[in-house]
Amino acid sequence: GIQVEQSPPDLILQEGANSTLRCNFSDSVNNLQWFHQNPWGQLINLFYIPSGTKQNGRLSATTVATERYSLLYISSSQTTDSGVYFCAVGIGNFNKFYFGSGTKLNVKP
Amino acid sequence: DSGVTQTPKHLITATGQRVTLRCSPRSGDLSVYWYQQSLDQGLQFLIQYYNGEERAKGNILERFSAQQFPDLHSELNLSSLELGDSALYFCASSVRRDAEAFFGQGTRLTVV
């Protein structure tokens, strides 16, 4: 099956710092999404981005489908950004979703 | 609020028991997905339904089964529960196969 690798696995930032999270995938995909899992376990949609670049406030994402990677940028990080960030890719006729193992972000005040 | 509703939020049950988790997708969404998130396995795809029909299967145990009803809500049945089945179970829905998927808040199952 498809491999979805996220890096780094853990990240500690000081509030106000910027960061880049990476997602590599091993095969062509129908779509790609980034999620933030908050400390209460809720999965929050950040971006639906099968290709191209999108921005939403302090967050932006870029997917280069031909090179099989996606990047999530977090600027001016805040303590509320803490949690686990997941990349998920959809493959096949019925878009089976596969998740990466996540990047655990801890933003310190 | 994603619009996907899962009940119950928490469930504690004993080994050997059977439970049913319920998911109501967003209005208009035909696809429903089930995922299991345990500490050592990450988020694992279990099964997908589209408009009442099973479309894809992942790492779903034979003790687990699911269905999607005509009103598009879905149920995940877990039987002969074991301690290792303790996990967060998520349901997600999307309007079509390649559209954005939205996740419910999950059901936290604890097997004691």
| Å between B85 CA and nearest CA of chain A | 17
Asked if the model's pLDDT at residue B79 lies above 80, the reply is: yes
- Copy the structure tokens of residue B16: 């050997």
B6-18 pLDDT, tens digit each:
999 999 999 999 9
Residues of chain B found within 8 Å of residue A6, distances taken between Cβ atoms: none
Give, in degrees to the nearest 5, the angle at Cα B36 between B30 and B39.
155
Q: What's the confidence (pLDDT) of residue B16?
A: 98
Asked if the model's pLDDT at residue B4 lies above 80, the reply is: yes
Considering CB atoms only, which of B101, B106, B108 is closest to A33? Answer: B101
- Best residue in A45, A95, A99, A101 for a mutation probing chain B (most B CBs within 10 Å): A95
B23-59 pLDDT, tens digit each:
999 999 999 999 999 986 789 999 999 999 999 898 8
Judged by CB atoms closer than 8 Å, whether chains meet at B42 and A48 is answered as no
Question: What is d(CA B84, CA B88) in angstroms, rounded to the nearest whole number?
Answer: 12
Question: What is d(CA A36, CA A34) in angstroms, rounded to the nearest whole number?
Answer: 7
- Which residues on chain B place their C-beta less than 8 Å from a C-beta of chain A? 2, 31, 33, 35, 37, 42-43, 45, 48, 50, 55-56, 58, 88, 90, 92, 94, 97-103, 105-106, 108
The DSSP element (H or E) to which A66 belongs, if any, is none
B83-112 pLDDT, tens digit each:
999 999 999 999 887 789 999 999 999 999
Assign B76 a pLDDT band (cuts: 50, 70, 90). Answer: very high
- pLDDT means over runs of 10, chain A (109 residues): 94 97 94 93 94 97 97 97 95 81 96
Q: What's the confidence (pLDDT) of residue A104?
A: 95
* CB-defined contacts A:B, below 8 A: 62
Cβ density class B80-101: b for 16+ within 10 Å, e for less: ebeeebbbbbbbbbbbebbbbb
Judged by CB atoms closer than 8 Å, whether chains meet at B56 and A94 is answered as yes
- Copy the structure tokens of residue A71: 């990047």
- Best residue in B44, B49, B100 for a mutation probing chain A (most A CBs within 10 Å): B100
Q: What's the confidence (pLDDT) of residue B98?
A: 76
- Best residue in B88, B93, B97, B102 for a mutation probing chain A (most A CBs within 10 Å): B97
